[in-house]
Amino acid sequence: MALEDAKREVDGAFTRAELKGLAFENAFAGAPSFLRRRYTKDLAGVDLAITGIPFDQAVTNRPGTRLGPRAIREASSLQPFDPPYGWDGFSPLERFAIADYGDMAFDYAHTPDVPARIEAHVAGILAAGAGCITLGGDHSITLPILRAHVAKHGPIALIQVDAHTDTWPDDDAARIDHGTFCYTAVKEGLIDVAHSAHVGIRTVVEDNLGIAIHDAREVHARGPEAVAADLKARVGDRPVYLSFDIDGLDPAFAPGTGTPVWGGLSSAQAAVLMRGLAGINLVGGDVVEVSPPFDHAAITAVAAAHVAMELICLWGWTRA
């Protein structure tokens, strides 16, 4: 059946009739929507929307993450032929109506307006009754996304995979910075600190504001299964938002990012960690900081596309 479908499927981003189902369009051809889902702004009947926020004007080092959503979509074309590996046959593309909601429109020259636009963009998706997984963009986008989710769910348990905690102090409300989003989120009361955690950290943290840290060395020493078990116990049944900064991976596995730090997680460890979180009450998530200009052979984009699929699996696991 897959071979017969491959002969006639093309440009499924625009031509596919159903929101559910695997896709057999040639990976190297056609319009690159995320996982070959239909591009649509109509969320009627949509269970989960994938959207891109191509913003990178809050970085401290190398730019380029504005090109991340496009690269992640292209890399994802390798995945929609089969159910994701390691999920015991669970097939979210067949079980749920998933749509590519496209990217958020904004005026790049009016940077101060961007956070409010992001919050409204995500709030609109949530108001339509759909879940939301976001492709970034730099890590500053997570703050307004959290605001939108908290408006619906109340304070959220955060799991953040990252080389940095992003809790550097910043009490200037006008600043937009990918290294301070978590500090601001804590100060605004968005994050349930007692039930949140950082994973993969390998930079100095002066004050992590009470959020637990499972640094990269711990993951290497104890293994991702053990760390995932600790995370599940910490978040319990609370609503969880999972933000995956691709620099949580070692530069060997994610060279295309703005602030690479050695000693990080391998892609294999990340896969086991994410699978080990099955059963958490994931209400939303993102994968950020993919910078294609520094990405040899799309290594980073491929990793990010897999992370996004894992987020979809986590979101769907408790809803199947």
Q: What is the 3-state secondary structure (H, E, C) of 235-279?
A: HCCCEEEEEEEHHHECCCCCCCCCCCCCCCECHHHHHHHHHHCCC
Q: Nearest 5°: CA angle at 39, between 66 and 71?
A: 30
Look-up of token digits 């401290």: 60
Give 3-state DSSP helix, strand, coil % of the chain, rounded to 5: 40, 15, 45
Positive or negative: CA dihedral 269, 77, 298, 213: negative
- Find out whether 162 is annotated in a ligand binding site: yes
First-to-last C-alpha distance (Å) of the chain: 25
Torsion from C-alpha of 119, 309, 37, 258, nearest 10 degrees: 60
Residues 6+ apart with CB under 8 A from 200: 161, 162, 163, 214, 215, 216, 219, 248, 249, 264, 265
Q: Which residues neighbour 83 within 8 Å (Cβ) at sequence distance 6 or greater?
A: 22, 89, 90, 91, 92, 93, 94
Is there a binding annotation on residue 245? yes
- Enter the tokens of residue 90: 């669970």
| Residue 195 known to bind ligand | no
Residues 6+ apart with CB under 8 A from 163: 200, 201, 202, 203, 216, 245, 247, 248, 259, 260, 261, 264
Binding residues: 139, 162, 164, 166, 245, 247
Binding residues for Mn(2+): 139, 162, 164, 166, 245, 247
